[in-house]
Amino acid sequence: MQKAECTAEFGSRVDKIWDIMTDNANYAWRSDISNIVVRDGGNAFTEYTKKGYATEFTVTLKIPHERYEFDMKNDAMSGHFTAVFSKVNGRTKVTLIEEVEAVGVVKKMFAGMYLKKHQKAYISDLRKALGEV
């Protein structure tokens, strides 16, 4: 199992960040996604990368402005994502934690690096969406 954790602080209110991160129907701010299909009242969704690669997600926990979790699975991996929201010195702190089990020896070797790269891009996209560039 590979694990990656990333923490970022934002000047925006937690409710604004929460709304952007949990509204999967509005994904235009994400530079890596071409489409998201939402199902089951928002409790499940499929993300498609710019190259058309699909990943299935099932929301497992949603505590508004505090914690957002889901399971994820595609042909290359399965795992769990957690976002933890907190206040630090008047700013909003977001911690992203991803744990995945990659399929195949080569994918297992590079899963940790991929997760860190993905988290960095996600935070960068989120900053742009919030106007905090």
Tell me: the pLDDT tens digits for 7-66? 999 999 999 999 999 999 999 999 999 999 999 999 999 999 999 999 999 999 999 999
At 73-90, the pLDDT tens digits run: 999 999 999 999 999 999
For position 80, which CATH number holds?
Answer: 3.30.530.20
Asked whether the whole model's pTM tops 0.85, one would answer yes
Give the CA diameter of the chain.
44
Q: Quick one: which H or E segment has residue 77?
A: strand 77-88
DSSP one-letter string for 5-16: EEEEEESS-HHH
**What pLDDT is recorded for position 106?**
67
Torsion-angle region of residue 35: left (phi > 0), alpha (psi -120 to 50) or beta? beta
Residues 6 or more apart whose Cβ sits within 8 Å of residue 118: 32, 98
Token pair recorded at residue 78: 């399965």
Q: Which residue range is the domain that position 124 belongs to? A: 2-22+61-130
Residue 15 lies in a domain: yes
Which carries the bigger pLDDT value, residue 8 or residue 107?
8
| Number of domains the chain is built from | 1
Residue 29 lies in a domain: no
**What pLDDT is recorded for position 105?**
72
